[in-house]
Amino acid sequence: MANNLRILDRYMINTISSVQVLKLPYFLDEMGDLVVLEGMGHSPFGIARVFTIRAPEGFIRGRHAHKLCAQFLNSPCGSVEVFCNDGSNEAVFELNHPNIGLYIPPGIWAEQTYKTADALLMVLCDRIYEPDDYIRDYSDFLKYRQELLGRTEPTGGRSL
């Protein structure tokens, strides 16, 4: 399934329903807990880049979309709320357990709010860092979505 998920988003316009919550293997015993993430086994794509982010409680990070890059977000500790928007619809996801991850395909606007002081966000990407892949302005994102959809009228969505 992991390979099919990645192939599909190259040939379709991703919507909010393309964003998926994925559970990672979780093992708990008297010595603690263990979460497993293996490349093509648990990640929805081959991993080209990994980075982590910490921010003070209440801070909002992200605020961008990618044209080509897919991401898998995981919060190994603390709680991070992820807002996703496809230009017409939006959804909010809570990453508050180390075995919960969120797949965000290309073409989805995302923002992360750090809900706890100990929040850590780990991000896996299927591409290396490419500055031109980022859409950092929400109005530019809406225009990009309109171009993808072949529309000239605004598609709606949240005013940021």
Question: What CATH number does residue 94 fall under?
Answer: 2.60.120.10
Kindly report the pTM of this predicted structure.
Answer: 0.87
Q: CB under 8 Å to 41, separation ≥6 — which residues?
A: 2
The answer to whether residue 155 is domain-embedded is no
The answer to whether residue 59 is domain-embedded is yes
Could you tell me if residue 87 is left (phi over 0), alpha (psi between -120 and 50 degrees) or otherwise beta? left
The answer to whether residue 19 is domain-embedded is yes
Domain that holds residue 102: 2-149
The answer to whether residue 103 is domain-embedded is yes
The answer to whether residue 44 is domain-embedded is yes
Nearest-angstrom CA–CA distance, 84 and 102: 10
The answer to whether residue 157 is domain-embedded is no
The answer to whether residue 10 is domain-embedded is yes
pLDDT (0 to 100) of residue 148: 86
Walk along the chain (160 residues) and give the pLDDT tens digit of each residue. 343 444 344 446 899 999 999 999 999 999 999 999 887 778 889 999 999 999 999 999 999 999 999 999 999 999 999 999 999 999 999 999 999 999 999 999 999 999 999 999 999 999 999 999 999 999 999 999 999 888 544 455 554 5
Nearest-angstrom CA–CA distance, 90 and 113: 15
User: At CB < 8 A and 24+ separation, what contacts does 135-139 make?
Assistant: 135/64, 135/65, 135/66, 135/67, 135/109, 136/63, 136/64, 138/63, 138/109
Structure tokens at 97: 């357990």
Structurally, how many domains does the chain consist of? 1
The answer to whether residue 158 is domain-embedded is no
User: Which DSSP letter does residue 24 get?
Assistant: P
User: Which DSSP letter does residue 76 get?
Assistant: E
Nearest-angstrom CA–CA distance, 35 and 1: 20
The radius of gyration of the chain from alpha carbons, rounded to an integer in Å, stands at 16
pLDDT (0 to 100) of residue 88: 95
Nearest-angstrom CA–CA distance, 114 and 71: 18
pLDDT (0 to 100) of residue 157: 54
Q: Where are the alpha helices (DSSP H) in 44-99?
A: none
